[in-house]
Structure 1
Amino acid sequence: MQIQVLMFEQDDPSKCTAAKLVKFGIAKRVKHLTGKDMILNPFAKEFVLKTDRDLTQSLTAIDCSWELAQNMFLKRFVGLSRKLPPLLAGNPVNYSKVGKLTTAEAIAGALYVMDYGKLADSVLDKFKWGHTFFDLNQYMLQDYATAKTTEDVVKISKEYGLEV
């Protein structure tokens, strides 16, 4: 699975997890998307499912400020648009907040759900707080990886007390 990031450089560059992934060669920076990309979009209708791994060869994260995200995602990005199920942030800025993930956390979460666990680990290994994301979400990620439908994801998230 190829990991890509479309970066809008709206946040502090020293805290940009997408830039760090590019620097270490884990992700490729792109300027344009193709219809073959899976786009992580927090406003998409469908959740990332394990079966999505058969539909795409690349996972693309849009790196932008959370404050500007809604306007950024009003743009029509070409590709398979998917959102993550509810997960807790492990990063120090938004620790334990539902859905307030860094780009690296979002990529790792999607990879884990699609059964790319080792690749997900390699993404977060570059961050001293990376293990915290997996510690907080270990059981949820395992359960989400078994979901076959969006309805399954909703049911699982409710079992954990998280609303979709």
Structure 2
Amino acid sequence: MAKGKNKNHDDDRPRSSKGSNGHSKGSRKGHNEVKRRETANFPVKLAMWDFDHCDPKRCSGKKLERLGLIKNLRVGVKFNGIVVSPNGSGVVCPDDREIVEAYGAAVVECSWARLDEIPFGKIGGRHERLLPFLIAANPVNYGRPWRLNCVEALAACFAIVGHIDWAKQLLEHFSWGLTFLDINEELFELYQECTDSKSVKKAEEEYLTEAEKQKNEKKDLTLDDILELGNQNRRTLEVKDKDGSDDEYQEVRGQDNDEGDSNAEQTEITIGKKLDALGNEIEDLVI
């Protein structure tokens, strides 16, 4: 018998090295790949151009990438679906639904303070869109208008075109995620009733005009009116769990983006129960 013919067949199998903790690196890799495939089951394509402006630990785009939900595109690569971008000419509208369903959605993952560094001419696509007025719920820019992060922008796009289920599917990966849908519920319902970009812009303008009117009326309140409304420094956010129970988060406040403008105007959202000085429940006030 020739030498080497009696080798154990196990020698032909790839050997997996063990890490310092004693676990096989090969088996760990396989586990991660299975988890990635399970998580990546999303109805449409998601993409982003990531310019590494954000803290990786707090970047929603990078988290979606780790979960296998979104693809990171190179500069120079275009996208066929809806691209939510500061370079857009119109706003996302219900008429964009067919494009989203066929080709998906993409975002530009960058800092709001460094937009001048982005080569918009080398990214994007045929269907670049802005987002209409919405309030951020992410921990960095909570309560600030338009300052949405990557996952909020994608979720907003899906919600406006009528796929609130896709928006929830993305946001459920973040502890604060579904709050974004709660505080913008009225706005999403308003935009969903529109058709094209012009009608969404008109609805946005009418909403902001009414909000400004209510703000001015609040300035005209008398001292007695203010006392009746109770302490407005305490604001509550009422969120419904899946089982229908109500949880109140008191004094939810936003944080300025480290790279953003610390003097930017903050927008307060009041949703929930209000009590007067005697502890009696009074009518809700939304500002």
In the alignment, the residues of structure 2 paired with residue 73 and residue 101 of structure 1 have an alpha-carbon distance, to the nearest angstrom, of 20
Give the superposition deviation at 1:74.
Answer: 4.2
Q: Which amino acid aligns with 1:37?
A: G
Relative to 1, partners in 2 of residues 1:81 and 1:3: Cα closer, same or farther, differing over 3 Å?
A: same
Indicate which of 60, 66, 85 corresponds to 1:41: 85
2:186 is equivalent to residue 139 of structure 1: yes
- For 1:64, the equivalent position in structure 2 comes to 110
- For 1:85, the equivalent position in structure 2 comes to 132
In the alignment, the residues of structure 2 paired with residue 110 and residue 23 of structure 1 have an alpha-carbon distance, to the nearest angstrom, of 21
Superposition RMSD on alpha carbons, in Å? 2.0
Give the superposition deviation at 1:136.
Answer: 1.1
Structure 1 SS opposite 2:155: helix
Give the superposition deviation at 1:91.
Answer: 0.9
In the alignment, the residues of structure 2 paired with residue 148 and residue 76 of structure 1 have an alpha-carbon distance, to the nearest angstrom, of 30
2:66 is equivalent to residue 23 of structure 1: yes
Relative to 1, partners in 2 of residues 1:145 and 1:8: Cα closer, same or farther, differing over 3 Å?
A: same
Give the superposition deviation at 1:76.
Answer: 4.4
Relative to 1, partners in 2 of residues 1:150 and 1:92: Cα closer, same or farther, differing over 3 Å?
A: same
Percent identity over paired residues? 27
Q: Which amino acid aligns with 2:88?
A: A
Query: What TM-score, normalized to structure 1?
Result: 0.89
Mapped contact 2:95–2:196 kept (Cα < 8 A): no
Give the superposition deviation at 1:95.
Answer: 1.0
In the alignment, the residues of structure 2 paired with residue 3 and residue 96 of structure 1 have an alpha-carbon distance, to the nearest angstrom, of 26
Listed one character per residue, the Cα deviations across residues 11-63 of structure 1 (whole Å, up to 9, x for unaligned) are 11111000111111222222253352321112311111122122351211110
In the alignment, the residues of structure 2 paired with residue 40 and residue 108 of structure 1 have an alpha-carbon distance, to the nearest angstrom, of 11
- For 2:168, the equivalent position in structure 1 comes to 121
Give the superposition deviation at 1:135.
Answer: 1.1
Structure number with the bigger relative contact order (C-alpha 8 A, sep ≥ 6) is 1
Listed one character per residue, the Cα deviations across residues 56-85 of structure 1 (whole Å, up to 9, x for unaligned) are 512111101111124426434341111111
Unmatched runs of 5 consecutive residues or more in structure 2: 1-43, 212-287
In the alignment, the residues of structure 2 paired with residue 25 and residue 117 of structure 1 have an alpha-carbon distance, to the nearest angstrom, of 21
- For 1:109, the equivalent position in structure 2 comes to 156
In the alignment, the residues of structure 2 paired with residue 124 and residue 73 of structure 1 have an alpha-carbon distance, to the nearest angstrom, of 28
2:91 is equivalent to residue 54 of structure 1: no
Structure 1 SS opposite 2:89: coil
Structure 1 SS opposite 2:184: helix
Give the superposition deviation at 1:124.
Answer: 0.8
Unmatched runs of 5 consecutive residues or more in structure 1: none
Mapped contact 2:91–2:197 kept (Cα < 8 A): yes
Query: What TM-score, normalized to structure 2?
Result: 0.53
Number of residue pairs aligned between Structure 1 and Structure 2: 163
Relative to 1, partners in 2 of residues 1:128 and 1:35: Cα closer, same or farther, differing over 3 Å?
A: closer
